[in-house]
């Protein structure tokens, strides 16, 4: 695909802090539009997981970078329409990468500039017709700066912790709401304070505070940005 054709494929970027509902909203919006979906957080989680499996110290930037460059990550949509599986070096790591520990590992390695560089082209390759919904922290600020539609989804820290709590509980994971809140706050703080691709709204992004908003209303609000 030529650069011009690539630019012509529309992208909707949905950035924001942990637990703001990006995953749920991005999936619903991509489905409604019939567009592709990029869960960029899953890539950072997968690299953190692969590094852990290889016994790599997450503070060893060179080793983690090599791991990011060589890890094979495949998203596989099950035929029955269930949750997309994340296959890391041939192993189905969907459940392992969803824990809060995996989130913290992802956040630690995501602060390494060379790791972000290693994942850049992979993320850009998701831009395919008829369009892409890209979910993450730097989709609108770094990876798809020319995206015609940009959203920054947020919610109060309490509400984000409650949502994450429900999600993890539904997966059968043992979690405590109070520790989840402090973990989420620590992760957001690190994501927002890092030098490379910090978490912040892209210029021109519509900021949507979803505190107290039902999912259907958020989806409708986001779809309106793309359609009108
Ligand atoms: O979105 P999710 O919670 O799966 O992301 C896990 C971590 O990966 C984030 O806390 C963040 O540090 C990192 N990340 C990132 N850039 C992205 C997506 C995720 O730095 N585009």
Instruction: Give the model confidence (pLDDT) of 191-219 as tens digits.
Output: 999 999 999 999 999 999 999 999 999 99
Q: How confident is the model at residue 13 (pLDDT cuts 50, 70, 90)?
A: very high
Cα(45) to centroid(ligand 1), Å: 7
CA angle 192, 14, 113 (to 5 degrees): 40
Structure tokens at 61: 């930037």
Rounded Cα distance between 228 and 220, Å, is 12
How many domains are contained in the chain? 1
Which CATH number belongs to the domain containing residue 148 in this structure? Answer: 3.40.50.300
Q: Are strands 85-88 and 73-76 parallel, antiparallel or unpaired?
A: antiparallel
Q: Answer for the pair 43, 123: CB distance below 8 angstroms, yes or no.
A: yes
Residue 38 has pLDDT above 60, yes or no: yes
Q: Is 59 within 8 Å of 157 (Cβ atoms)?
A: no
The residue segments making up the domain with residue 108 are 3-227
> What's the pTM?
0.93
Confidence (pLDDT) at 171? 82
Nearest CA to ligand 1 atom 6: 41
In short, whether 44's Cβ falls inside 6 Å of ligand 1 is yes
How far, in Å, CA of 26 to CA of 13, rounded? 9
CB distance 211 to 159 below 8 Å: yes
Q: Is the pLDDT of residue 37 over 90?
A: yes
What is the b/e burial string over 71-87, where b = at least 16 CB atoms within 10 angstroms of the residue's CB? bebebeeeeeeeeeebe
> How much is the pLDDT for 10?
97
- Nearest residue (CA) to ligand 1, atom 1: 41
The pick from 136, 168, 196 for probing ligand 1's pocket by mutation, whose C-beta has the most ligand atoms within 8 angstroms, reads: 136
CB atoms within 10 A of CB 146: 8
What is the token pair recorded at 183?
């973990």
- pLDDT value of position 168: 85
What tens digit of pLDDT does each residue of 137-170 get? 999 999 999 999 999 999 999 999 999 899 888 8
Question: Sorting pLDDT into bands at 50, 70 and 90, what band is 66?
Answer: very high
For residue 83, what pLDDT is reported? 86
- pLDDT value at position 193? 94
């Amino acid at each position: 695909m030529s650069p011009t054709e690539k630019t012509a494929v529309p992208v909707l970027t949905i950035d924001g802090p942990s637990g703001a509902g990006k995953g749920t909203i991005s999936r619903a919006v991509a489905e409604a539009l019939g567009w592709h979906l990029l869960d960029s957080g899953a890539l950072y989680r997968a690299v953190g997981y692969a590094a852990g499996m290889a016994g790599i110290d997450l503070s060893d930037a060179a080793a983690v970078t090599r791991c990011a460059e060589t890890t094979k990550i495949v998203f596989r949509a099950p035929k029955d329409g269930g949750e997309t599986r994340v296959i890391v070096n041939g192993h189905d790591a969907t459940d392992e990468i969803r824990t809060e520990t995996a989130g913290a590992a992802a956040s630690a390695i995501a602060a390494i500039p060379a790791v972000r560089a290693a994942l850049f082209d992979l993320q850009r390759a998701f831009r395919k017709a008829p369009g892409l919904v890209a979910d993450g922290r730097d989709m609108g600020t770094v990876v798809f700066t020319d995206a015609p539609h940009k959203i920054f989804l947020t919610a109060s820290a309490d509400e984000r912790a409650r949502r994450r709590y429900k999600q993890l509980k539904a997966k059968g994971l043992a979690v405590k709401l109070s520790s989840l809140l402090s973990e989420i706050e620590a992760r957001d703080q690190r994501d927002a304070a890092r030098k490379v691709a910090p978490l912040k709204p892209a210029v021109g992004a519509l900021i949507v505070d979803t505190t107290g908003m039902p999912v259907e209303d958020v989806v409708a609000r986001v779809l309106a940005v793309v359609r009108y």
